[in-house]
Structure 1
Amino acid sequence: MNKKKILLVDDDEDICCTIKQYLELHHYQVETVHSGVEALKMMNNDFDLIVLDIMMEGIDGMELCRLIRDRVDVPIVFVSAKTLEEDKVQALAIGGDDYITKPFSLKELKARIDCHLRREERIRSNERYLLSSKNMTIDLLANEVFCKGKKLPFTKKEYEIVKLLMLNQKIVFSKERIFERVWGIDSESQLDTVAESIKNIRKKIKAVDPDTSYIQTLYGLGYKWDVTDEKQ
């Protein structure tokens, strides 16, 4: 059985050593780094989960999470001595999947890691090619989007925007980030194309499902997938 690979990012070397030893005893493969800069250099590696401290010199954990989310889509578990509710909310809002306050037990950390990895396995095995939200479903193999069973006539770029937002429902994407991810930084298109494309997406969805919101605008920040009233 292939060992799951975990990246542990914490500037406390003793904590890293303790966590690494414990997780490796439980058959995980663990790489440790002690700064955000080092962590970014590791993003070409294929990790299954990232454990991330918040309070680090240079690039802190919050900013590092934003940068990581531009590159990889794996579970991120924050570990931090910051216990305020607003810190936890911010960490989860920018793309974290879990938040554990220090001090914590190694047994609890492992249990949460196990839980997130099992969830990822279920997603990959049971919903590998279909992604659903409210009345909308994306067929990731066919590159098609359906709303209430009706295929939506999206252009390629419109489809890529919908897929990007649906796959990253917790993340707010600025127009600039959407443009870079969908059109590419070398594209000759204009940034205003993003807003126009989202306008067209909404119009096509509304023709089929006029009473449901799918793309939320956060003024001054960008766009995110609207999970309001999402069935659990």
Structure 2
Amino acid sequence: MKKILIIDDERDLLETFKDYFQLMNYLVYTADNGLDGLKQIQHQPDIIILDVNMPEMDGFELCAAIREQITCPIVFLSAKVDEESRIQGLTIGGDDYLVKPVSLKELGLRIEAHLRRENRKQITQKIAYFGELMIDYDRKLLQYQKQEIYLTKVEFEIVELMSKHPGRAFSKEDIYQHLWNWDKLGDATIITEHVRRIRKKISKHSSVDFIQTVWGVGYKWIG
């Protein structure tokens, strides 16, 4: 089930969107202000619907803060129809910009299109380069300057998960669930040890710490 985060200070509109997307079989998270919206990022949404005109922290400021944590598509909603606002929204990190009032059907179709695009990106991504670090997802191979870095199956799966979503913060529980779907007996803190080993192996070849600790959250891959 895909996860949507909707951030809008119009509570009636927020409830309308929530009801609609729940009927469309999405897992919906909501926030009626920027600060609460930033907290909801911990749910790792697949896409975000973000109102521009909000008090205290507007949508543009919030988008910039969100982009420091995750890379999922962001769709702006705004009553501003001027070209400058559209350009600002798309430049600061948004992927789409719709003017209110918006048709629920059109918004739903836009959401589906962005999610399909994200799925295609993940499916077609077979080899990725991060500087001189190369990851071959088909062959389960990690190389630095063409020298192989030997990882266990679990270690590679952790690298694969995070490197396919650079900048996105994963909790230890997120990673554990991805690996074993909670079927394996044990504690999610085992992820800390796996990450330590991955870092140690990469550090023998590169001074770059590709796995960065996000305090209070978990880890993210930097590109």
Mark yes or no: TM-score above 0.5: yes
Distance 1:100 1:126 in 2: 28
Opposite residue 48 of structure 2, the aligned amino acid is I
* Cα displacement (A) at 1:143: 5.6
Partner of 2:102: 104
Structure 2 residue runs of 5 or longer lacking an equivalent are: 137-141, 147-162, 168-208, 214-223
TM-score, scaled relative to structure 2: 0.60
Question: For 1:44-123, what aligned pairs fall within 5 Å after superposition?
Answer: 44-123=42-121
Question: For 1:142-161, what aligned pairs fall within 5 Å after superposition?
Answer: 142=142
Please, what is the CA RMSD of the aligned residues? 2.9
Partner of 1:19: 17
Distance 1:50 1:143 in 2: 34
Distance 2:88 2:210 in 1: 26
Distance 1:25 1:137 in 2: 46
* Cα displacement (A) at 1:104: 1.0
Gap change, CA 1:22 and 1:184, over 3 Å in 2 = closer
Distance 1:8 1:183 in 2: 29
Higher RCO (C-alpha 8 Å, min separation 6): 2
Q: Percent identity?
A: 42
Gap change, CA 1:21 and 1:131, over 3 Å in 2 = farther
Opposite residue 78 of structure 1, the aligned amino acid is F
Partner of 2:29: 31
Contact map agreement 1:36 1:58 (CA 8 A) in 2: yes
Secondary structure, aligned partner of 2:84: helix
Moved over 2 A (4+): 128-132, 136-145, 181-185
Partner of 2:175: none
